[in-house]
Amino acid sequence: MYPFSLGILMIVIFSFNLSAQTSQSGKMEGKPNVIIILVDDLGYNDVGFNGCQDIPTPNIDRIASNGVKFTEGYVSNPVCGPSRAGLITGRYQDRFGFGRNPLFAPNDINQGLPLSEETLATVLKREGYHGMAIGKWHLGGHKDLRPLKRGFDEFFGFLTGGHYYFPEDWVLNDLSELTHQYSAYKTKLLKNDSRIDETEYLTDALSREAVNFVSNKREEPFFLYLAYNAPHTPLQATEKYLKRFSHIENKKRRTYAAMVSAVDDGVGQILDALENYDLAENTMVYFLSDNGGPEKHNGSDNGVLREGKGWLYEGGIRVPFAMQWKGMIPAGVAYHKPVISLDIFATVSAAAKAKPKNKLDGVNLLPFLAGTNNATPHKTLYWRQFDKESYAVRIGDLKLVNADGNLEELFNLSKDTGELTNLINDNPKIKKKYSRLMEAWIKELKDPLFLGLSHDKQYNSAHPNRYQIEKY
């Protein structure tokens, strides 16, 4: 199903389709619709296209079957907020000081994505796209950092880094009722700038709104950024999904599986809507997780990958990652060269013929997927965690990583995906070269602009009026 070579035929087909795209629909003028489906804390091994056995994901797998699965697909940070900042800007987030998970501080314009940064929604809006953000935002709670001020025309979801899933838990009417960081999990959902009374299970509500958006905007170019909260904790699922996994004895894993299954249902509804409205061949669809699974906390499974969320080992940064653009990229293909979530911005911008104002770190993947460019998309990939003093750099199959701020390790990922055999002592020249590259890259970065989740008490001490805001 997933051949290792795309073949000359696919190159010819891709080239023909790309040149003919503008004639498919005059109103689109060659600009594809874009859907990014981002899930939260999903394990690498927890989708069918990566070999999962106990959680069927037939609809998520459709994206890989209709297009490409990236076996070495990375995100730019192993935790939620910085990873999202990189994805939505196409730039290493440490370039603009987003090196921490932001606190929810609605009075503080510095707690989130700096206004110097341009989002993908802003870039596409200049090209006539209508954009909607659905689900988890986590890029700032200040009124000037919210989705409608960052290029999106519509928003349905919540602003903080997590949320309860059952409507009966959404008891806070506005942000003025917050008392601590995690009380924002209990706020009523937002529709644009207004609180609403929602009655559906959170994942189902987000899927419903996504399908409605596709239906309502099918006559114009659209950008949908669907950021599911699932399967992030708290582990909460309805009986509808739980009963599908009575065979899983571990309660944590069973609830986690139910939450993933709810997402899969929603993905199926969205893909069906594209087919029903004859939009599938004019829509780019991406699916990925924001970081690796925190196995001990939510019952996820990263397979052979070492560690998980919060670590720069492969389990923290290599994620389930697939893309479809029916008729425009090959179908049923496994792409085995390293790519990163930053590439989504660059690829979409190229397809939409858009020109971002900031220099991107991602690259346009379309020539590589077509086989017209057989090189590796990235000569070098970098990662940094400021507070842990940890870093990693990958060149080819070799990865230098200092995961805890103390010990440098070198792994050959082509032979040792699980990062078990440290080759550092046998390769002093490589160590020196990679260390120099890392040092040079870090000089281009900024220290974090804000205190993060681990500094909650420190922030509260310095900002006693943190939640004293007007009703919103």
What is the band of 272 on the pLDDT scale with cuts at 50, 70, 90?
very high
Q: What is the pLDDT of residue 469?
A: 80
Q: What percent of the chain has pLDDT over 70?
A: 93
Give the dihedral sign, CA 338/341/347/353.
Answer: negative
Domain count, the chain: 2
**In the predicted structure, residue 237 carries a pLDDT above the cut 60:** yes
Residues 341 and 393 in one domain: no
Cα(227)–Cα(203) distance, integer angstroms: 10
Residue-wise pLDDT tens digits, 200-229: 999 999 999 999 999 999 999 999 999 999
State the average pLDDT over residues 32-53. Answer: 98
What is the band of 468 on the pLDDT scale with cuts at 50, 70, 90?
confident
State the average pLDDT over residues 283-297. Answer: 98
Write the DSSP assignment of 426-464 as a string of letters. Answer: G-HHHHHHHHHHHHHHHTT----SS-BGGGHHHHHHH-T
Residue 237 forms part of a structural domain? yes
Q: What is the pLDDT of residue 472?
A: 56
Q: Which residue has the higher pLDDT, 1 or 446?
A: 446
Residues 363 and 398 in one domain: no
Instruction: Find the Cα–Cα–Cα–Cα dihedral 465, 471, 182, 100, rounded to 10°.
Output: -70
Output the domain CATH number for residue 421.
Answer: 3.30.1120.10
State the average pLDDT over residues 63-80. Answer: 98
Boundary (domain end) residue, out of 370, 396, 422 = 370
Residues 45 and 147 in one domain: yes
Residue 44 forms part of a structural domain? yes
Q: Which residue has the higher pLDDT, 397 or 468?
A: 397
- Specify the amino acid at residue 342: L
Q: What is the pLDDT of residue 29?
A: 62
Name the residue range of residue 220's domain. Answer: 7-370
Residues 224 and 273 in one domain: yes
Residue 375 forms part of a structural domain? no
Rounded to an integer, what is the distance from CA 64 to the centroid of its chain? 16
Contacts of 125 (CB under 8 A, 6+ apart): 131, 151, 153
Question: Do 44 and 271 touch, CB atoms closer than 8 A?
Answer: no
Residues 244 and 344 in one domain: yes
Instruction: Report the mean per-residue pLDDT for the chain.
Output: 94
Residues 303 and 400 in one domain: no
Residues 225 and 358 in one domain: yes
Cα(252)–Cα(220) distance, integer angstroms: 42
Residues 75 and 40 in one domain: yes
Output the domain CATH number for residue 46.
Answer: 3.40.720.10
Model confidence, pTM:
0.94
Q: What is the pLDDT of residue 19?
A: 42
**In the predicted structure, residue 8 carries a pLDDT above the cut 80:** no
**In the predicted structure, residue 265 carries a pLDDT above the cut 90:** yes
Active site amino acids: 80, 138
Q: What is the pLDDT of residue 188?
A: 98
Residues 345 and 414 in one domain: no
- Specify the amino acid at residue 114: P
Residues 128 and 241 in one domain: yes
Residue 467 forms part of a structural domain? no
Boundary (domain end) residue, out of 370, 392, 424 = 370
Parallel, antiparallel or unpaired: strands 381-385 and 390-395: antiparallel
State the average pLDDT over residues 306-330. Answer: 98
Cα(213)–Cα(334) distance, integer angstroms: 30
Q: What is the pLDDT of residue 185?
A: 98
Cα(130)–Cα(39) distance, integer angstroms: 22
| Residue 51 Cα distances to 1, 64, 289, 317, angstroms | 13, 12, 16, 18
Residue 468 forms part of a structural domain? no
Write the DSSP assignment of 70-97 as a string of letters. Answer: ETTEE-S-SSHHHHHHHHHHTS-GGGGT
Boundary (domain end) residue, out of 316, 338, 370 = 370
Residue-wise pLDDT tens digits, 350-380: 999 999 999 999 999 999 999 999 999 999 9
Angle, vertex CA 204, rays to CA 81 and CA 134, nearest 5: 40
Residues 73 and 147 in one domain: yes
Q: What is the pLDDT of residue 25?
A: 36
Q: What is the pLDDT of residue 3?
A: 44
Residue-wise pLDDT tens digits, 404-418: 999 999 999 999 999
Residue 466 forms part of a structural domain? no
Residue-wise pLDDT tens digits, 426-465: 999 999 999 999 999 999 999 999 999 999 999 999 999 9
CB burial of residue 431 (10 Å; 0-12, 13-18, 19+): middle
C-alpha closest to that of 349 among 129, 83, 152: 129
Question: Do 123 and 89 touch, CB atoms closer than 8 A?
Answer: no
Question: Do 10 and 372 touch, CB atoms closer than 8 A?
Answer: no
| 16-25, 126-135, 180-189, 287-296, range with the lowest pLDDT | 16-25
**In the predicted structure, residue 26 carries a pLDDT above the cut 70:** no
Residues 451 and 311 in one domain: no
Residue 470 forms part of a structural domain? no
State the average pLDDT over residues 141-151. Answer: 97
Residue 429 forms part of a structural domain? yes
